[in-house]
Structure 1
Amino acid sequence: MMLFEKKSPYKQLLNLFLLSSFVLRIVLLFHPITTTSFSWAEIIKIFLTGFLTDFFVFITASSLIWLYLLFLSESKYTKPWGYIIFGGFLSLLIYVACFNTILNEYGGVLPEIGIGFVALKTTFFGLMLFLPKYRKHIRIALFSIAIFIITLIIIQNSISEFFFWNEFGVRYNFIAVDYLVYTNEVIKNIMESYPIIPLFIGVGIITAFFTYKIVKKSMPFLEKLPSFQEKIKSTVGYIALFALATFLVPVLAKQETSTNVFTNELQANGLYRFFLAFRNSELDYNKFYKTLPDNEAFTLLNQQLEIESNATSTQIIKGRTTEIKKNVVLITIESLSADFMKMYGNELNVTPFLDSLATKSTVFSNLYAVGNRTIRGLEAVTLCLPPSPGESIVKRKDNKNKFSTGSVFKEKGYSVKYLYGGDAYFDNMEDFFGGNGYDIVDKKTFKPEEITFDNVWGVCDEDMAKKAIQTMNAEAKTGKPFFNHWMTVSNHRPFTYPAGKIDIPNDAKSREGGVKYTDYALKQFFKMAQKQAWYNHTVFVIIADHCASSAGKTELPMDKYRIPAMIFEPGKEASINPILMSQIDIMPTLLGRLGFNYKSKFYGQDVYHPSYKPRAFIATYQDLGFIRNNILTILSPKQKVKQFDLSLQPSKLPVAFQLYYDEKPKNTIDPTLVNQTIGFYQTTATLLKNKRYQKK
C-alpha cells in the first residue's frame, strides 16, 4: 500500500505521531501530579492499548494528509488539464474576491482567509504550470512547508497535552473545548504564564529537525509520484483502514476500566478525548445516566426537601428569625483550595488575612465545591442546585430568567450587581448574570486611571476592591439595601500582581503568590469597607469557586473539592459549623440567617434548619457525585454507578478540618444512596429541561 511504504511521507508522519505519543506517556507517567503507583499489568495496558489507540486515531485524524498526498501529481499539469484546472482556480479567486460568498455571511476574517488561501493556491499552481523547469523545486518547497505545518501540529499537540496535564491532571476534556472558544484569553494566559520565547524556539528546532528528516526520507516518493492505478489501490486500502479505525477507537476507549483514574487517562489518546468532549458538550441525563421513573425521583426529592407539590422543587421558606434587610457582599475567590488556609494545616502563611477573619466569622469547615471550574462555582452560589452533566448552565443558551439568589434579593427590594475584574464576556458570565437581573460591573466600566495593574484575566484584585467600594458607596446613597457578588481574578495563572505588595516577588508566577496577593487585596477591601457608613449593616460571605487542582487517583478525589467558606457579620460572635454541606447551601443558609420568608426553588438548604440532612455534591462535567453517611456515590455516563467508602486518613488536625480520605470501592452497592443520588440529579435535569426552574 503506497501510504505505508518506507519512503512514504504518510508513514513518516505516522511514526512521528506514535513516537510523540509514546514519549508523552512516559513524561506524564512520571509527572509530579500523577500521584499514584502502577502495577506491571497496568503499565503494559497503558502502553499497549495506548499504542493501538494512537495508531487508529492517526488514521482517522489524517484524512486531509492522505488527500494532500493523493493529489500530488505530475499529470495534472499536462495539456489541456493544467489550463482547465488553472482556469478553474482563477475563476474561483475572482468569485471569492469580488462577489458575496458564504464566507462573507459568516463575516470576521473568514473572507480574507478564504481569498488568501485561493490566491496562494492559484499562484503556486500557475508557477508550476508555466515554469516546468522549476516545478520540482517549487514542489519540494511547498511539500516541505506542508510537512513542517503537520509536524508542528503533532509536536505542539504533545506540548499542549503536557501543559493541560500540568494544570488539570487529565487528558483533554470539556475544558479544552472551552479553550477553543476563548482563544484570546487562553493564548494571553499562556504568554504570561510560561517562558514562551525559549518554548517556541525549542518547538521550532524540534519541528525543523523532524521536517528535515521526513522530507529527506520522502525524496524518492517525490521524485517518482505514485501512478493513478497505485493511488486507486491506496485509496481502497485507506478507506478500509479508516472504517476499521472508526470502529476500533471507541472499542479501545471502552477498555479504560481501571479503578485508578490515572491509568485510564494515560491509556487514552488526547485527540480522541477532545473529540468526545466536543461531541458531548451537553449530556442528556436521561440518555446517558441511570434513571428512575420521574414520579419516584420526585418522591425521593420530596423526602429531602419540604416540597410544596410534586414534579417541582418549590418550597415555602420561613425565616428562623425576624427578617433583617442587611446589605450582603458575596465574595467568590478564584481557586482557593481549603488546604491553603492555616486552619486546614497549611504552614506557608499565604492567607494571613483570611485566617484572621475566620476567627471572627461563622466558618463552615466541611463544605465542598460542586465542580472544578469557576462557572460551576458561580452556578452553585447563584442558582443553588446540583451540577448538571455537560456544559454549565452559565454557558447554555437557556441560562436566563432562572430562580436565583439575585431574584430573591430583588424581590426583597435590593439592588443586585455582579462585579468582575475581567471582561464578563468570558465564560458567558455577562450573558448569564445580565439575563438573570444582575447589573454588571466589569473591566469595561473602569476608567484608565482606575487601573494600576492588569493581566490577561483583568484588573488586579486591589483595583477591583476599590471599584467595589465606590459601587457600594453609590448604592448606599440610594437608601436601598444591596447585594453584590464579587468574583476575584488574581489567584489564577499566570499569578502576576503588583510589585511590593507581599513578600513573594510579583514575577515569581507561583500559585502561593497568587493566593497571598488575593488575601492581601481582600485585607485592603475590608480596611476600606470598615470606614464606610454601611459596613456595620452588611453581611460578608466569603467562599472559593473551586479548588486549585482537581487531579487525583479517583474520579472525584474528596480533598480536591474541599473549599473554605465563612460568613462574617460585624459584631457577631465567631463559631465553627462542621456539618457536611455543599456550595449550593451557602446562600440559602445566609438567607436563613437574615430571616427571609420566600418561596424557593433552591435545592440548596439552610444547614441550620432542623429538616436539613447532611450531604454534598461534587462533580466533573460527566461524573456526578453525592456524599452522604461517609459514602461517595458516583453516577457516570452509560448508566454506570460506583460507590466508595470514605475513611479519614490519620491527622493531627481537629476532625472538622481534616481533608484527606481513603476512597475504597464498595463491594456491595447501597441502593438507597444510589436512588437518592439519582433523585437529586435526575429531577434537576428534568426541571431545567422543562423550564420549571424559572423565576416567578
Structure 2
Amino acid sequence: MAYHYTKALELPSYYWALSAWHGVRMDISFAGYLLVLPTLLMAFTFKRFNWYKSFIHSYSLLTTFIIALLVCVDLELFRAWGFRIDATSLHYLQSPREAWASMSSAPVGFILSIGLFLFGISYWLLTRIAARTLPQLRPLSPIISLLFFIIAAAAWIIPIRGGLQLAPMNQSTVYFSEESFANYAAVNVPWNYSSSLIHQTYNKDNPFRYLPDSTARQKTRALYDDQVPQLTLVDSGRINVIVLIWESFTAKIVGTLGGLPGITPQFDQLAQEGILFTNIYASGDRSDKGMVSILSGYPAQPTRSIIKIPTKTLHLPSLPKNFKQQGYSTAFYYGGETEFANMKSYFLQQKFDNIVDIHAFNKSDMNSKWGAHDHVVLNRFLSDLDHAPQPFFNTLFTLSSHEPFEVPVPTVIAGTSQEKLFLNALHYTDRSIGDFVAAAKTKPWWKNTLLVIIADHGHPMPATEAGKPSQFHIPMLWLGGALKNTGLRINTLASQTDLASTLLHQLGKSSHDFEWSNDIFDSHRQNFAYFAFNNGFGWVRPQGYLIHDNIGGNIIGKEGNINPAELENGKAYLQTSFGDYLSR
C-alpha cells in the first residue's frame, strides 16, 4: 500500500486496516505451510539436534530470500499487470532478454533496495529468535518424539486451511470489498504464487487443440448470431429481476418435463403460470461452473474452473455488473459459505452491492454441513426485498438439495438410500420455493418483477442409462407480474449460458459483451448446447447428440442423426472456449 500509495489514497482510510485484517488468515496459512517441514524434522531430534540448528538457519535463509524476492518483484509487476504476481511470471524465463528489456522503465535499484531491506531485517529477526530458542532443545525419547510428530502434523492442518470452516483457504477468504485494490492488498504474495503453481494457472498451452486456431474460431463464431429478436414477452421499463439458482435441479425429477412425478408439485403448478423452457442444458457439472455460466454467460471448462482464478474472472461480463451500471441495486443470497470454490471473490468483482451468506443466519437454522436451510434463506430474502432499492437485480442460490440432503421437515419421499434422500430434499426445496412465490405475489413489487428459476447443474441421480446427456438437462422457468404472456412452453434447444443474452434483450438492453451467450428467441440462431465434464464434453443438436471422451479420444455416447461434422464443431467449440479461458 505504501508503494502504490496513489491507489491506497483512493480508498477510505479504514480500508487499509481492513485489508490487513482480512489478509491475516492467508498470512497465517502460508506461515503454516512454511512451518510444516521444520516441525516434522523436529521429530527426529530425539538423539541429536545440532544438525537441526544448521537446518533452521539454512531453511530461514532460503525461504526469507525467496519471499523477499517475490514481494519486491510483485511491487512493480502489479503496476504493469494490475494483479498480484503469480506463476504467469514463469513465461518470462523462456525469454530473459525480453524480460530484462521490459524492466528498463522500472526503478530496479529502488526495488532491489526494498528487497534487500526486507530480506535483511527478516533474516536477522529469525536468527535472533533461533539463537534464543534452539539452545533450549533437549533430547527426547523416541516415543515422545513420535507422539509430537503426530500431534504437530495434525495441528498444522487448521491454520493451513484457514480455520475450521467448510471451504479451505482461497482468495475469497480475504476478499471483502468491491474495490479490487483493497482485495489485492489483502492477498499474501507467496501463498498466491504457490497456489498458482499448484493449479497451473501459468500454463497457456491448450490441451484441446484439434484444429488450427483460426479454423476453430471460425466454426465457433458461426454458431452465434448478433441479431436482436423482435419477440418481447416481458414488460418494458426498469423491471426488477430475481435469479433463483436451484442446487442440482435436474429435469429428471420434474413431472411437467416428463421426469418423476410428485417430486416437484409446486414447480409443476408454477410452470402453468409462467414461461417454461423445456430444452435447456447446464454448461458444467459443478456449482462453481454453473454460477459463471448463468451470471456471465461463459461456458464451463472440462479440467479447470475459471471462478477459482480471480485474475481471470475480473474482466468477465456479468448480469449483476451490467444491471449495476444501469442503476440497479444488486444482492446475492446464499445460506452457505460464499468462500466455497472461491465464489465470493467472483461475486465482489461482479458488483453485487450486498452479499448475504452463512454469517447472517442463526446456528439453529443450519443443517450439519452446508449452512442455513432453504426456507430460512428464502424468508430472509423475501423480507429484505420489501426494503430493497428498486429496480433491483438480486440472486439467490439454494443449498438443501446438495449432499448430505438434510432437510428440517418430515420425510415425504420414503427411503434411506442416497437417491431417496436426494428426492426428498428436492421436494423440500420445491415447497420452500412455492411458499416464497405465493408470498411474493402479495407484495407490491411483484407486478414489476421477473423471476427466473434455473439450476446450477443437473445430477447423476436418479440413475439413467449411461452415455446420455440427461444428467445435464435442467429446467428453466420465468415467472412474475412483469410477464406479458403466461402458460407458454419454449422448446428451443439452448444452453444455460444463453440466459444472459436472452434476458438482456427481453429488457431492451444490449448483450454485446456476452459473446458466448445466444438469444433463445433469435429466429436466426443455431440451436445447440455444449456441456463439459471432467475431461470430456457433450454436443447436443436438435437432430441428436454425441458425448466425447477427451482422454481416450472416442465417442462414449451418441444418438440421433448427427453427422461427423458435428463432432468437429464440438471440438472447435471446446478448443476456442478453453483458449479464451487461457488467454484471460
Amino acid at match of 1:685: F
Of 675, 678, 683, the match for 2:568: 675
Greater CA deviation, 343-352 or 575-584? 343-352
Secondary structure of the structure 1 residue equivalent to 2:222: helix
Q: Which residue of 2 aligns with 1:86?
A: 49
Tell me, yes or no, if structure 1 residue 343 matches structure 2 residue 324: no
Tell me, yes or no, if structure 1 residue 409 matches structure 2 residue 326: no
Tell me, yes or no, if structure 1 residue 542 matches structure 2 residue 505: no
Amino acid at match of 1:442: V
Tell me, yes or no, if structure 1 residue 423 matches structure 2 residue 337: yes
Q: Which residue of 1 aligns with 2:208?
A: 289
Of 335, 353, 360, the match for 1:439: 353
Amino acid at match of 2:403: R
Which stretches in structure 2 are left out of the alignment for 5+ residues?
1-36, 72-125, 155-159, 169-196
Tell me, yes or no, if structure 1 residue 300 matches structure 2 residue 219: yes
Q: Kindly indicate whether the alpha-carbon contact (under 8 Å) linking 2:290 and 2:300 is maintained by their aligned counterparts in 1.
A: no
Q: Which residue of 2 aligns with 1:392?
A: 305
Deviation, structure 1 residue 503: 3.9
Q: Deviations over 1:8-52 (max 9, x none)?
A: xxxxxxxxxxxxxxxxxxxxxxxxxxxxxxxxxxxxxxxxxxxxx
Tell me, yes or no, if structure 1 residue 493 matches structure 2 residue 403: yes
Tell me, yes or no, if structure 1 residue 461 matches structure 2 residue 424: no
Q: Which residue of 1 aligns with 2:108?
A: none
Tell me, yes or no, if structure 1 residue 684 matches structure 2 residue 577: yes
Q: Distance in 2 between matches of 1:595 and 1:679?
A: 32
Number of residue equivalences:
444
**Inter-CA distance 428–381: structure 2 relative to 1 (3 Å threshold):** same
Deviation, structure 1 residue 471: 2.8
Q: Distance in 2 between matches of 1:279 and 1:293?
A: 29
Q: Which residue of 2 aligns with 1:565?
A: 476
Q: Which residue of 1 aligns with 2:539?
A: 626
Q: Distance in 2 between matches of 1:551 and 1:447?
A: 32
Deviation, structure 1 residue 575: 1.8
Deviation, structure 1 residue 333: 0.5
Within a 5 Å distance, the mapping from 1:164-563 to structure 2 comes to 184-185=165-166, 286-306=205-225, 315=226, 317=228, 320-321=231-232, 323-347=236-260, 349-397=262-310, 398-443=312-357, 446=360, 448=362, 452-475=365-388, 478=389, 480-499=390-409, 503=412, 510-549=421-460, 557-563=468-474
Within a 5 Å distance, the mapping from 1:14-53 to structure 2 comes to none
Q: Kindly indicate whether the alpha-carbon contact (under 8 Å) linking 1:633 and 1:677 is maintained by their aligned counterparts in 2.
A: no
**Inter-CA distance 101–279: structure 2 relative to 1 (3 Å threshold):** closer
RMSD: 4.7
Amino acid at match of 1:522: I
**Inter-CA distance 470–584: structure 2 relative to 1 (3 Å threshold):** same
Q: Distance in 2 between matches of 1:143 and 1:527?
A: 62
Q: Distance in 1 between matches of 2:164 and 2:518?
A: 38
Which stretches in structure 1 are left out of the alignment for 5+ residues?
1-63, 129-137, 153-178, 188-277, 307-314, 648-665, 692-696
Q: Which residue of 2 aligns with 1:259?
A: none
Secondary structure of the structure 1 residue equivalent to 2:206: helix
The TM-score, its normalising length taken from structure 2, stands at: 0.64
Deviation, structure 1 residue 624: 2.6
Q: Distance in 2 between matches of 1:452 and 1:289?
A: 45
Give the share of equivalent positions with the same residue, in percent.
22
Report the structure number with the largest CA radius of gyration.
Answer: 1
Amino acid at match of 2:567: V
Q: Distance in 2 between matches of 1:104 and 1:403?
A: 34
Q: Distance in 1 between matches of 2:391 and 2:317?
A: 20
Q: Kindly indicate whether the alpha-carbon contact (under 8 Å) linking 1:282 and 1:389 is maintained by their aligned counterparts in 2.
A: no
Amino acid at match of 1:623: G
Deviation, structure 1 residue 353: 1.0
Deviation, structure 1 residue 621: 3.5
Q: Kindly indicate whether the alpha-carbon contact (under 8 Å) linking 1:422 and 1:459 is maintained by their aligned counterparts in 2.
A: yes
Deviation, structure 1 residue 633: 4.8
Amino acid at match of 1:515: L
Secondary structure of the structure 1 residue equivalent to 2:217: helix
Secondary structure of the structure 2 residue equivalent to 1:434: helix
Greater CA deviation, 602-611 or 529-538? 602-611
Tell me, yes or no, if structure 1 residue 582 matches structure 2 residue 495: yes
Q: Distance in 2 between matches of 1:184 and 1:576?
A: 43
Q: Kindly indicate whether the alpha-carbon contact (under 8 Å) linking 2:206 and 2:579 is maintained by their aligned counterparts in 1.
A: no
The TM-score, its normalising length taken from structure 1, stands at: 0.54
Secondary structure of the structure 2 residue equivalent to 1:365: strand
Q: Distance in 1 between matches of 2:581 and 2:243?
A: 25
Amino acid at match of 1:565: M
Q: Distance in 2 between matches of 1:602 and 1:636?
A: 25
Q: Deviations over 1:210-245 (max 9, x none)?
A: xxxxxxxxxxxxxxxxxxxxxxxxxxxxxxxxxxxx
Deviation, structure 1 residue 331: 0.7
Amino acid at match of 2:351: G
Secondary structure of the structure 2 residue equivalent to 1:492: coil
**Inter-CA distance 296–444: structure 2 relative to 1 (3 Å threshold):** same
Secondary structure of the structure 1 residue equivalent to 2:531: strand
Secondary structure of the structure 1 residue equivalent to 2:574: helix
Q: Kindly indicate whether the alpha-carbon contact (under 8 Å) linking 2:446 and 2:480 is maintained by their aligned counterparts in 1.
A: no
Amino acid at match of 1:528: A
Q: Distance in 2 between matches of 1:635 and 1:454?
A: 37
Q: Distance in 2 between matches of 1:300 and 1:95?
A: 56
Q: Distance in 1 between matches of 2:200 and 2:282?
A: 21
Q: Kindly indicate whether the alpha-carbon contact (under 8 Å) linking 1:182 and 1:426 is maintained by their aligned counterparts in 2.
A: no
**Inter-CA distance 615–448: structure 2 relative to 1 (3 Å threshold):** same
Within a 5 Å distance, the mapping from 1:103-118 to structure 2 comes to none
Secondary structure of the structure 1 residue equivalent to 2:530: strand
Secondary structure of the structure 2 residue equivalent to 1:576: strand
Within a 5 Å distance, the mapping from 1:656-675 to structure 2 comes to 670-675=563-568
Secondary structure of the structure 1 residue equivalent to 2:578: helix
Q: Kindly indicate whether the alpha-carbon contact (under 8 Å) linking 1:283 and 1:390 is maintained by their aligned counterparts in 2.
A: no
Q: Which residue of 2 aligns with 1:599?
A: 512
Q: Distance in 1 between matches of 2:201 and 2:66?
A: 28
**Inter-CA distance 324–364: structure 2 relative to 1 (3 Å threshold):** same
Q: Deviations over 1:241-297 (max 9, x none)?
A: xxxxxxxxxxxxxxxxxxxxxxxxxxxxxxxxxxxxx96766968531133223222
**Inter-CA distance 438–146: structure 2 relative to 1 (3 Å threshold):** closer
**Inter-CA distance 345–318: structure 2 relative to 1 (3 Å threshold):** closer
Q: Distance in 2 between matches of 1:181 and 1:670?
A: 51
Deviation, structure 1 residue 482: 1.2
Q: Which residue of 2 aligns with 1:212?
A: none
Q: Deviations over 1:368-404 (max 9, x none)?
A: 1111111111111012132223321111132113112
Secondary structure of the structure 2 residue equivalent to 1:427: helix
Deviation, structure 1 residue 517: 1.5
Q: Kindly indicate whether the alpha-carbon contact (under 8 Å) linking 1:317 and 1:600 is maintained by their aligned counterparts in 2.
A: no
